[in-house]
Amino acid sequence: MSLLFRSLLSVLAVSHVSVGAALFPRATTSFDLQAFGTNNNGTTISESSVFYADGTAYVGSVKPANASAVYSIFLAQSTSDPTSLVISEANLTSGSNSTTNDVVGSLLSINTTATAYESVTFTSSDNSTNTTSSGLTTSGFRFYGSSLIWRDDNSSAMESLFYAWPVAGQEEEDIWILKWNTEKLIVSKSIPVALREE
């Protein structure tokens, strides 16, 4: 094998790795975020849009029974931080205790502390600088293809630890609370889900 041919192969191999590992924030246009997944029991979530209920992220076709305000939402890349996702559009689907202005502009947030298995929430953009002490983060979100992942800037680890958990009292209905599972605990009722831009 000639030296030129080996050099060309090396360049192609390196370029393939760097292209394959590319992560991109999304453009500022709005998009729907949908959950897809199956657990060991065969329970499946497919094309289920993420929605907002009282500051928490849910998936499913049924609304949480005790929610005071439920919104269908669209997300977009934040203009101030390309790795943050902000609610760009919201439509009230049930309840009346808040206005669209209370929801639009809220940032997607997850708790990334070592033992967290907590709900994915939406944080007011006014509070986004105060999230570090509580373990919540509103930045680090990227897309690998159309799938949402989170990148830890300290370790450069890329993770997708989103899980759908049955809502208490509504276990037999199509309603799931979205959680971030830092400990990677496998619980039979939960469903690991991929969140995809649609």
Which stretches does DSSP call E strand in 63-153?
A: 69-77, 85-95, 107-111, 117-119, 121-123, 136-137, 141-144, 147-151
What pLDDT score was predicted for residue 29? 86
pTM for the model: 0.83
What pLDDT score was predicted for residue 38? 94
Q: What is the pLDDT of residues 79-122, one digit of tens each?
A: 999 999 999 999 989 887 667 788 999 999 999 998 899 999 99
Which residue type is seen at 10?
S
Instruction: Tell me the domain boundaries of the chain.
Output: 22-197
Positions of the chain with pLDDT lower than 70, given as ranges: 1-28, 97-98, 126-133
For tokens 């030129």, the residue is 4
Cβ contact 180:110 at 8 Å: yes
For residue 29, give every residue at least 6 positions away whose Cβ sits within 8 Å of its Cβ, in sequence order, or none.
76
What pLDDT score was predicted for residue 18? 32
Question: What does the block give as tokens for 11?
Answer: 């360049």
What pLDDT score was predicted for residue 96? 72
What distance in Å separates the CA atoms of residue 22 and residue 114, rounded to the nearest whole number?
26
What pLDDT score was predicted for residue 128? 54
